[in-house]
């Protein structure tokens, strides 16, 4: 199907059903240009399998809108590569639900830029788990606002091994 997708227009890709989108293989995802990714509806994005999400490049993720990112399941969020996480805008980071924040892997949290960490809201901070907090780098912590640091629960700081920058 990948070869067919390269021949399709953005309007044709946008007309695919969620069932068709859900059947995409990684090679199909790789065949989608950013304009075709941007043409997908939130329902189509939600229909992508976690294997398909894993295949998204940072450039493709950058083509997603805030609503598209907000609709991703926790499994889909966890399947994004660290490069793809780095491509999320600060607005998209701020729009993530607490469940999506909790689904981030420690490696994904470590890959956040200082600007992305600043975009995390005070309501999102408590969703960070012990491993995620331990993965934070000095530059990320330094970028946090006082209210965000205060929103991290004390047990997470106590349970976390000292971050690599502290050792």
- Per-residue pLDDT tens, the chain, 167 aa: give them: 777 888 999 999 999 999 999 999 999 999 999 999 999 999 999 999 999 999 999 999 999 999 999 999 999 999 999 999 999 999 999 999 999 999 999 999 999 999 999 999 999 999 999 899 989 999 999 999 888 888 876 555 555 555 555 55
d(CA 33, CA 63): 9
Q: In whole angstroms, what is the distance from residue 118 CA to residue 143 CA?
A: 6
Give the pLDDT score at 149.
85
pLDDT at 32: 94
Q: What is the 3-state secondary structure (H, E, C) of the chain?
A: CHHHHHHCCHHHHHCCCHHHHHCCCHHHHHCCCHHHHHHCCHHHHHHCCHHHHHHCCHHHHHCCCHHHHHHCCHHHHHHCCHHHHHCCCHHHHHHCCHHHHHHCCHHHHHHCCHHHHHHCCCCCHHHCCHHHHHHCCHHHHHHCCHHHHHHCCHHHHHHCCCCCCCC
Contact 14, 39 (CB under 8 A): yes
């Amino acid at each position: 199907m990948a070869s067919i997708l390269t021949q399709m227009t953005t309007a044709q890709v946008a007309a695919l059903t969620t069932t068709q989108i859900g059947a995409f293989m990684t090679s199909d995802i790789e065949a989608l240009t950013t304009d075709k990714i941007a043409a997908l509806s939130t329902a189509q994005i939600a229909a992508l399998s976690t294997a398909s999400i894993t295949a998204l490049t940072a450039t493709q993720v950058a083509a997603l809108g805030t609503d598209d990112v907000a609709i991703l399941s926790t499994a889909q969020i966890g399947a994004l590569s660290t490069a793809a996480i780095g491509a999320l805008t600060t607005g998209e980071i701020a729009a993530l639900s607490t469940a999506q924040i909790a689904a981030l892997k420690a490696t994904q949290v470590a890959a956040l830029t200082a600007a992305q960490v600043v975009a995390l809201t005070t309501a999102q901070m408590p969703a960070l788990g012990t491993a995620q907090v331990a993965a934070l780098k000095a530059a990320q912590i330094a970028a946090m606002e006082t209210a965000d640091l205060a929103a991290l629960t004390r047990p997470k700081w106590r349970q976390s091994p000292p971050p690599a920058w502290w050792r």
